[in-house]
Structures are given as structure tokens and as C-alpha cells.
Structure 1
Amino acid sequence: MNRQVRIIGAPMDLGANRRGVDMGPSAIRYAGLAAELADANVESTTDAGDLTVPRAEERDPDAEQPAEGSAKFLRETADLCTRLGDEVADAIADDAFPLVLGGDHSIAIGTVTGAARNAELGLVWFDAHGDFNTPKTSPSGNVHGMPLAAVLGIGDFADTEWANAPNLREQNVAMVGLRSLDDAEREAIRGSDVTAFTMSDIDERGVKPVVEDALDVATAGTDGIHVSLDVDWLDPKIAPGVGTPVRGGVVYREAHSALETVAERDEKEDILRSLEVVEVNPILDESNETAELATGLAASALGKRIL
């Protein structure tokens, strides 16, 4: 693929309850992202820099709240995601491929809404968590546990223009690798048209068949797909630098196989519209190994091969 990649940093940490993910974009760049992308035969790479994010200490997390429940820093999240959505949409309009570096997973609201602005979008969501809470159901009020519900317009997000993604249907969303859900999330996912694959599915069937099925879901009747990769999808033994680690995640080769499967489908059908990598936390990392892994996985998704 003669792909021109535009890197967009979104150093957001207001959606989580642990600081440090705001340094994720810098850590990923420092880990050799440009070199990895060159090895993936990307035609060109342009770094658009980082969006500006306000400091948590300067803002009131409860300044703006929904009618029911809690969503911390909601006003700031709406602003960041609106700007990020514009950046992503502009990149696609310029025939560039947006590669978004987080930041916590709340930034996916901006990435997905931007990618879906002028196209029927499918979504593959690699994550240990459901991110399917709403302000009403969230036990913490942290928006990084809500982005998938937000872009699907569930609950309080139904009439929210900045969050509810156009041209995205539940039946074109596939979640891969779930292993940590709140009770309300579990009930909501079961009652939705989203397709959910747990780690048990990967254990029983293997990662490649599961990802192939997820891609079938995301590409059915769509113009392209967005891939959202939360590094806590991986086992914390190989990806310690995350804020919400959960034991029992995918291992190194499974992770690369999954993203290589995305690239293989993309090479055949030109399906990949955008990609984001989120939740790298250098404060919790060991020798930047989680960031290095993130760069390698991004390159695998964009076509890097061993042979």
C-alpha cells in the first residue's frame, strides 16, 4: 500500500484516574515509530504534532455533568475530541492515513467520529475492557471507560453531537479480547448488536480466526474500518506500562498475528481507514518496552512483515 501516514498526538489523561498517559505519544515516538513505519513500506510519514490538552490541576472535573451519573472532565473531553475529529477527517480528506497516538482511550471518541464523518465505518476494538459504560452506569465517572458507548450514541450520549459517530452501526462493531467487564457493561453488550469476542474465544479458537471474524463484522456493508488498539489488551507481563492492567491478555506473537491479519485483509481489500494506539503509560513502564511494543504493532497493522 502506498500509504502516506499522518501522525496525530492526543496526549489526553483526563479520562483516566491514573496520570502518565499524557506522555504516551512522546514515548511511542521515542521508541522508534518513524523507523518502524519505514520498515512497513509506508510511502511517507508526516508528524502533525500533539493537540493541546489542559492540565487537570487547572480544571474542575465536575464543572459540566450529564443529567444523570458522572463523567469527569466532560467539557474538556468534548473539546479535545471535537478538535481531534476534525484533524482525523482532514487527514482522510487529504488522502493521508491518520495514525493517532494516545493518551487515554477517551480520545477514541474523536478518532472514530472523524473517521466516520463521510463514510460508513466499521470498527475493530482491541481491548481488555468493554468501554461500554455511560455516565449513568460508570462506577468511576472516568470517560476512558465510556468511548465505545459514546460513539454508538448509547444512553446519555444519544443526543451528543460531538460524541455520537455518524455512519457507525452496532452491527459493524467487533470487540476483541475482552476479559474485564462491569456488570452494567456486560448487560449492555449482551443487549446490543455489537459482536464481542472474549479471551476465552481466542484461547479456544486462536487469535487469527477470531480477528478474521471481527474483520468480517466490521467490513460488512461499510466503506472502511477504524482499528482502536488499547495496549492493555496485551498481557501485563509484556506490556506493563498501562494504567489498568488485567492478567491473561494476549502474548507477543498473538498480538502481532492479530495486527498482521488486519494488514493482510487491508492488502486485499483496502479496508483500513484509520488507526489509533492508546493507554501507553511511561510512568508505569519498564525501559519503555510497552511503547516499543506499541510501535511494532502499529507497523504490523500497516504491513510490516518478517519476510
Structure 2
Amino acid sequence: MKEPGVVINARFEDRHEPRVWNWIRPWDFDSNFDVGIVGAGLSTTSILPTSCYLAPDAFRLSTPGFTTYSPDFDVDLQTMVVRDLGDVSIPIVNQFEALNRIEDTMEKLWSVDQNKFLILIGGDHAVTAPAARAFAKAHKGHKMGLIHFDAHNDVRVMDHGPTNGTPIRQLLESGLDFDGKNLVQVGIHGFMNSSYYKRWVEGHGGTIFTGRQMRQSNITKIARDALEIAGNGTDSIYITVDIDVLESAYTPGTGAATPEGIHPMDLYEALFIMGQHPKVAAIDFVEHDPSTDVVRITGRTMTGAVLSFMSGLFLRRNDGWCGYDQTPITGD
């Protein structure tokens, strides 16, 4: 591990409005925490050239625009202890060593204290395979389900090695205690997919909810159905969120977003619901490319997704308490 590439120092802050930049602080490698943020800025495994290696620091740079409270979810996160654990130390030119380091580092972090919730910020989608393998190794004997938000199935053949187009295939073929019947792909969309890979996912037991299905249905129902499928007979659920699942208007800073994607608020609602589920035990956010972003739209959208998931997790960890005294204030 290495220290965070960017540390946001305090600027203006209203004493009644806690800001995320002062709430998520670098970890001192000693004190306790509830949630740890880990960066894995790998992009040499992308099929098309990207600068996803910049995403962990872009996440940090986006935090000044956010507070700890959401009126949409009516949750205030400020009592949850969240620490920035820094970044996995990734070699620039050796992608195989990079993937091994992600797996080794995440396994060690998950093995230290399984009550601490870790959120991984990629990086391209290749980081998911080693991270999920690490989770499985650290939780031996646990059967795992997977919920995968994406525009693509990510089950390409391995002809070109472990790329950002292969993580789901890698996990299904890894020999882990992970059955395809507990795989749910959410938001698959656009003329950038293959009927062959759709059939491959279905042939291995997976369930697919397309972007169109999500628009025609109810996001709450789809989120709960996904949790039911991924959690059926499993001990834990891993979630991976590829930001290109969203409409391209909200994600100019990613490689393959199109207009057929889902709306950010649908993603936020789904993650809020999933954060509350007792089997959800790990999550990653991938494929943000800050080099192609426009006025940090994608970075802010992804940070909103992270905070929405945390809001659901907060309710779960606090028995439904919203994080603040709801008594109306009549004075100053």
C-alpha cells in the first residue's frame, strides 16, 4: 500500500454542515474505522487505452462538493468512521504483477478484520477479478453471489489475457465457491454487446436485467430481485459497479457509455437498497477515466453512487437509525 495520492485539507465549512472532504480522512494505520476506501489505479489492462489509473485521486478531489447528509435518503453519515487507506502499489508496465498485488493486498486487508467494510475504487474493470478472488480467499467457506452493474457482460474469451472485458468470466472459471446461478448483471445495454456472450452468461446460469428492462420496470423491484438471486444459498454478495452502466450524458469520463444507459438516480436507489442487505459484504467502483471527463461530471456522479451505497450501509449498521436527532430546531 502507498499513501493517498491526494489529501484534501479543510477549507470553508459551516459548523452545521459537515463536508465529506473533512469526514473521510487518511488512515493512521492504528485507529479503528467502519469503512475503508482503497484505490487500485490500474488501466494497462484496458482493451482500449484509458487513464483509469487517475480515478482514485479523482474520487478524492470530488469530495469537496459533498456533505454527509442526503435529504433524498434522509441519512446523515457523519458518525460513521470512514478512512482512506491509500492505494495499492501498482507497477506501471507489468499488468500481471499489478493484478497479483491487488489480490494479495485486498486479501490481507479483508483478513485483518472482516467486520470492516472495504470499498475499492478502480482502475478499469480488470481489478474486479483479483479483488473478488481476494474476498473469497479471506472468507473461506463462504459461498459468494455477484451483482454486476455494467453496459457489458464482461465475459470475453481470454485470448488477449486478463483485460477489463474478462473479469466475470475469470470469476466463473476460477474454481471459487461462486455459481453462475448467483450472478446478476444489471443495466446491460447498447449496440456494443454480443448475442454470443449473452447466451454464454445465460448458459452458465446468470440472470441479465437490461437497461431497457430497468426503464420499463421498477428499480426497487429489480434491486430486490437481484439481491434475492445473488443471495439465494450464498453467504455473501460482492457488488461491482462499472460507471458505464449510466447514460453517456452523466458519464463522459468513461470509455463506453451510450444514451441507452440507466439514470444515476436509479443506480443510487439500487445501491441504497443493496447497502442495507445483510449479505452484501464488498463493493467496487470502476472505469472512471478522468482524462476524458467534463467539469468532473463523471467523478461527481460516481462519488454520489459511493455515498448512496454508504447511506444504505449506515442504516444497516445502525439498526435503521438515520444518523441524527430529528427533533425540529426552533432557535439558531
Category of TM-score, reference length = shorter chain: 0.7 to 0.9
The corresponding residue for 1:206 is 218
The letter for the 2-side match of 1:256 is Y
Which residue, out of 54, 79, 84, partners 1:47?
84
Gaps of 5+ in 2: 1-31, 70-75, 316-321, 327-332
Contact 2:151 2:188 in 1 (8 A): yes
| Cα distance change of structure 1 residues 292 and 55 upon mapping to structure 2, 3 Å threshold | same
TM-score, scaled to structure 1: 0.80
1:21-36 to structure 2, matched below 5 A, reads: 21-32=52-63
For residue 311 of structure 2, what is the aligned residue in structure 1? 303
| Contact 1:170/1:193, CA 8 A, preserved across alignment | yes
Q: What is the CA-CA distance between 1:83 and the residue it aligns to?
A: 2.4
**DSSP 3-state at the match of 2:209:** strand
Structure-2 residue corresponding to 1:80: 101
Which of 181, 184, 187 in structure 2 is aligned with 1:174? 184
Contact 1:133 1:184 in 2 (8 A): no
Report the alpha carbon displacement of residue 200 of structure 1 after superposing the two structures with TM. Answer: 2.0
Are residue 261 (structure 1) and residue 253 (structure 2) matched?
no
Q: Does 1 or 2 have the higher relative contact order (CA < 8 Å, sep 6+)?
A: 1
Q: Which residue does the alignment assign to 1:67?
A: none
Check 1:297–1:83 CA distance in 2 against 1; reply closer, same or farther (3 A cut): same
> Which residue type is aligned with residue 76 of structure 1?
E
User: Which among 250, 273, 285 is matched to residue 281 of structure 2?
Assistant: 273
Please report how far the alpha carbon of residue 186 of structure 1 lies from its aligned counterpart in structure 2 after TM superposition: 2.2
Letter in 1 for 2:86: G
Q: Choose which of 88, 93, 98 in structure 1 pairs with 2:118.
A: 98
Distance 1:3 1:170, change over 3 A: farther
Deviation at 1:52, TM superposition (A): 1.8
CA distance in 2 between counterparts of 1:103 and 1:255 reads 20
Q: How does 1:92-241 map to 2 (within 5 A)?
A: 93-117=113-137, 118=139, 119-136=142-159, 143-153=163-173, 164=174, 166-179=176-189, 180-241=192-253
In the alignment, which of 13, 20, 28 is matched to residue 43 of structure 2?
13
> CA offsets, 1:167-196, max 9 Å, x none?
211111110000142243123113110111
Structure-2-length-normalised TM-score? 0.75
Structure with larger Rg = 2
Given that residues 77 and 106 in structure 1 are in contact (C-alpha distance below 8 angstroms), is that contact kept between their aligned partners in structure 2?
no
Give identity over the alignment, percent.
23
Shift of 1:246: 2.5
Structure 1 unaligned spans of 5+: 60-72, 154-163
* 2:34 paired residue number: 4
Taking structure 1 as reference, are residues 285 and 24 closer, same or farther at Cα in structure 2, changes over 3 Å only? same
Maintained 8 Å contact 1:14/1:77? no
User: How far 1:87 moved relative to its partner?
Assistant: 4.0
- Residue aligning to 1:247: 259
Instruction: Give secondary structure in 2 for the equivalent of 1:116.
Output: helix
Aligned positions, number = 272
**Does the aligned pair in 2 maintain the 1:124–1:228 contact within 8 Å?**
yes
Residue 78 (structure 1) shift: 3.9
Deviation (angstroms), 1:115: 1.9
2: CA distance, partners of 1:224 / 1:173: 12
Structure 1 residue identity aligned to 2:184: A
